[in-house]
Structure 1
Amino acid sequence: MDNCIFCKILKGEIPSTSVYEDDDFRAILDVSPASTGHVIILPKKHAANIFELDDEIAGKIMPVAKKIAAALKKTYNCDGINILQNNGEAAGQTVFHLHVHVIPRFNGDTINIKWTPGEMPDMEKVANEIKANL
């Protein structure tokens, strides 16, 4: 995609700092990190979001995230890891090339990836509504 910043990074038109690369993905350091070591995994084939992502690539991205998470844990001895993927503006997506964030977390850090727990009104009804669309 001509206007996609991540496609431009993948083509080498915009510099980045890579930590991992294979035939399907490049993982780079986030230039605006939530914490030191914040990595973004980019599929080399453009897909705007999870709905456009090829099933084969979808199946390969979590093992890459696991590998990056293990390296971050070993490197920084962090207390936890967030693995995030946003779809759509309402969900916080700002770059419309699917990507996965792998963020080292430390007890007492100020990163805020939380929500106020709500209540599920009728769990059977909700489950059946979802199942009807699978």
Structure 2
Amino acid sequence: MDCVFCQLVQEGTAHWVAREADTCAFTPLNPLAPGHTLVIPTSHFTDVFEVPPHVLTASMTLVQRVATAMRTALDASGVNILSASGPGSEQSVPHLHFHVVPRWVDDGISTWPSGQSRRRLTGDPGTRLAAALNRDHKPHHGM
């Protein structure tokens, strides 16, 4: 398997924040800030141009839930959401993904998205986010 994200999903080796049928979230190895989270479809879709609408909807719903959890669990005052699609976009991994990066007024990132936050948190931010997502998640029932 060539796709590193598909390999993580298949092997279950990531530090998971959330795992759902169509989408999942995990913390990257080199976060831009404490709690930086990647949201990806669980199936392989290279970019926004090929993902089916229902999977994109599920992915963006999880992006929103992760962002909300960052405000409650990490006391973030905002988030940056970044996604690149296609060869001209500098997409780093050819699997659709969304970076959700918590931000604080005093975090020191002045050159987004290349800066590094100087914000420090106690405990594991990914674990705190996962707990907030599990606590706040209300399952949606299809019609």
Q: TM-score, normalised by structure 2?
A: 0.72
The equivalent of 2:61 in structure 1 is 63
1:90 matches 2:88:
yes
| Kept in 1: contact 2:23–2:58 (CA 8 A) | no
Structure 2 gaps, min length 5: 114-143
The equivalent of 1:81 in structure 2 is 79
Please give the secondary structure, in 1, of the residue aligned with 2:70.
Answer: helix
| Structure 1 residue ranges, 4+ long, deviating more than 3 angstroms after superposition | none
Query: In the comparison of the two structures, how many residue pairs are matched?
Result: 112
d(CA) in 2 for partners of 1:31, 1:89: 23
Matches within 5 A, 1:1-134: 2-12=1-11, 15-108=13-106, 109-110=108-109, 112-113=111-112
Q: TM-score, normalised by structure 1?
A: 0.77
Q: Percent identity?
A: 27
| Bigger relative contact order (CA 8 A; separation at least 6) | 2
| Pair member with larger Rg | 1
Provide Cα deviations, 1:25-80, integer angstroms capped at 9, x if missing partner.
11001111110000001101101111111111112221111111111111111121
d(CA) in 1 for partners of 2:67, 2:74: 10
| Kept in 2: contact 1:34–1:111 (CA 8 A) | no
